[in-house]
Amino acid sequence: MGWISKRLYNALGWRIRGSFPSSVKKMIVIAVPHTSWHDFYMGLIFRSVLDEEINFLGKKELFKWPLGIFFRSLGGTPLNRVKGQNQVEQISALFAKKDIFRLALSPEGTRRKVDTWKTGFYYIALKAQVPILPVTMNFKDKEHHIGNLFYPTGDITKDMIELRSFFKNIKGKVPENS
């Protein structure tokens, strides 16, 4: 499957800048900007080209038979989204249960334009004591730029400024939502 993905990725004109920290088995990968449904399959192709295990979450209803087998094979993990349940606690607990868990999340939380990111990814990283890896989804330049691992300090204001600066001027598939 990897060689097909590499050929498709190259045929589409995409490239990767930076290197994936393969030795780090647990992290949160934030992919920004998230502006279109195209981000999902481009993320899967990107992951396949890297030949790395990168996971995602989905509502538990998606993981029922027969789709559950498919989503799990892609690295998906079901999430029980019960109202009033602490999602940060639930998701950070997944890191303790798995040997390798590199969770891809979109800080925007939606494909629409937002002025502020949701902070769950940050608090999950703090609670699970894992680094954050920033990765661009730059459709304008057809590039995935892999940044350096970022270790949250607990000063969310300062840390968010630093993380967001990595994504300055990056355009998604739907530029007006970037």
How do the pLDDT tens digits run along the chain, 178 residues long? Answer: 678 889 999 999 999 999 999 999 999 999 998 888 888 888 889 999 999 999 998 888 888 888 889 888 888 888 887 776 788 998 999 999 999 999 999 888 776 777 888 899 999 999 999 999 999 999 999 999 999 999 999 999 999 999 999 999 888 888 676 6
CB 55 within 8 A of CB 31: no
Three-class SS state of 59 = strand
Q: What is the pLDDT of residue 53?
A: 93
Q: What is the pLDDT of residue 101?
A: 96
- Name residue 117's amino acid: W
Interior angle at CA 5, CA 32 and CA 66, nearest 5: 85
Sequential DSSP letters for 73-129:
HTTEEEE---TT--HHHHHHHHHHH-SSEEEEE-TT-SSS--SS--SHHHHHHHHHT
Q: What is the pLDDT of residue 85?
A: 74
Q: What is the pLDDT of residue 172?
A: 85
Q: What is the pLDDT of residue 169?
A: 87
Which residue pairs from 92-101 have beta carbons closer than 8 angstroms and sit at least 24 positions apart in sequence? 92/124, 92/127, 92/128, 95/26, 95/128, 95/130, 96/128, 98/26, 99/25, 100/25, 100/26, 100/53, 101/25, 101/26, 101/55
Q: What is the pLDDT of residue 177?
A: 64
CB 143 within 8 A of CB 130: no
Q: What is the pLDDT of residue 98?
A: 92
Q: What is the pLDDT of residue 75?
A: 85
